[in-house]
Chains A and B, each alone.
Chain A
């Protein structure tokens, strides 16, 4: 899979940065305007999938390897659990907004609302890494119909 034509590659080079920036905006301002962790995460995943479709898998592997993506995924899942347990340890019920209870910020600012921006960032990392992982795994297989299991060719991913 070597990527698409020159027009697609040129357009992708220009557009990728804006898509990524929009995903970061949706994540960072998720508690102030429409957005949040989930739209930001899927948008960032779609930016990387656009790189993979337009330039081929090898370019994506030069940028981010398979191991990095899966490690990011697992780290974000564990970090989410850690934030929840911190709420339990500090202020009472499981997953309580302990930062907002202890030191509340001013409303409508970027750094307000307690653990909500932190959780937005963690969810963005988790969702984008997961979707990128499954897209890379789906495109890495070359299927020979009716073959045995040893013919299930895939690119070497480690």
Chain B
């Protein structure tokens, strides 16, 4: 059930990217897609009533191995979040330049004007 809701969140973002006319809305759709992918990764690695993958001094090895959630997707998500922020900063820089040049964020008007 959680997987299906996450896929629906991805499709909402995809719908936003494909149908919206405003450039900022397209960037927001990409942000929603990013959130959906990160949540999906961590959902895949979740163990019911698990413990976080940080080992305590007082924890025995068997307890840790049998109870912890998967640390691998969390490591991938950690880098993916910061890379997503950098990509969004680049996109916003492009959007600001386009607004400076054309005076609008509407992608249909931007296509029609000469460069």
A residues contacting B by CB (< 8 A) are: 33-34, 36, 38, 41-42, 108, 127, 130-131, 134, 137-138, 141, 143-147, 152
Contacts and interface: CB of A to CB of B under 8 A. Distances in A.
A143 B99 contact: yes
Nearest to A35: B54
Contacts of A143: 96, 99-100
Interface of B: 52, 54, 57, 78-79, 81-82, 85-86, 89, 92-93, 96, 99-104
Contacts of B52: 34
Nearest to B54: A34
21 contacts: A34-B52, A36-B78, A38-B78, A41-B82, A42-B82, A131-B85, A134-B89, A137-B93, A138-B92, A138-B93, A143-B96, A143-B100, A144-B100, A145-B99, A145-B100, A145-B104, A146-B100, A146-B101, A146-B102, A147-B100, A152-B100
Nearest to A148: B101
Contacts of B92: 138
